[in-house]
Amino acid sequence: MPAHLILGGARSGKSRYAETLACDSGLPVTVIATAEAFDAEMTARIRRHQNDRPAGWRTVETPVTLAATLREEARDGRCVIVDCLTLWLLNLMVGAENLSDPPDASQLPQLQAERAALLDTLPALPGQILLVANEVGLGLVPETPLGRLYRDEAGRLNQALARICARVSFVAAGLPLALKGTA
């Protein structure tokens, strides 16, 4: 089954929507979690997400090597949730504060390689793949060059994924809107 990209803002209900789709699939579920807990608040957020999931779901933590993990986890008869691509992108931008001014993503070879690997891998994966990502382009323009680079790279990633995913949904206030395919 082709991949489904689920976009939304912070606290929009995008993760819950992905979890509902996974439950409705009736398939065994693996969650690929990309967040890293660097402080108490993030630790609490991660714990809250874990507690919201059914007990039988597997969780694989993958902050960087997403394409490789997807190749290992995606199988016919299995549903994989990636939550979330925006944090994964942030993990790939570690060290970006040392880039030239203005910062340029071409100076981040790991980001370029991992992004290309994801886009190359995704179309061939078996099973049901649910990709959760923030739509960060709806807010204010970030104040810093690095913030703008992050926003731009997130938008570019979402556009590239939307082109290759069979389904794309936007979630606002817990309500999914089908942008491509059916919600």
> Which residues are marked as active site?
49
Q: What φ, ψ does residue 41 adopt, rounded to 5°?
A: -65, -45
From the DSSP assignment, how many helices (H) and strands (E) are in the chain? Answer: 6, 7
Q: SS3 for 63-75, per residue?
A: CCCHHHHHHHHCC
Give which of 51, 26, 19 is closest to 130, Cα–Cα: 19
